[in-house]
Amino acid sequence: MKVKLFDENHEKDLEDALNDFLETLDDEDVIDIKFQISTMYDYKDQIYCYGAMVIYKTK
């Protein structure tokens, strides 16, 4: 079993990265996907961080 971590600044970038990675796996190899959004304010802007972890089986 392995994990693959993703961290992107935009939700669309995370979606694209996850879809690209999932295309390399067989459906039955994916165990779970965890998703998280973090925010931070730096006195100018609100910054978002979109993260995901794919837990999958290896051969």
Q: Binning pLDDT at 50, 70 and 90, where does residue 42 land?
A: confident
- Map out the domains of the chain as residue ranges: 2-56
CA distance 29 to 9: 27
pLDDT value for 12: 97
pTM of this structure = 0.86
Specify the 3-state DSSP secondary structure of 11: helix
Q: What percent of the chain has pLDDT over 70?
A: 100
Distance of CA 52 to the CA centre of its chain: 3
pLDDT in tens, 3-31: 999 999 999 999 999 999 999 999 999 99
**Residue bearing tokens 């694209």:** 16
According to the model, what pLDDT value does residue 43 have?
Answer: 87
Token digits of residue 54? 């794919």
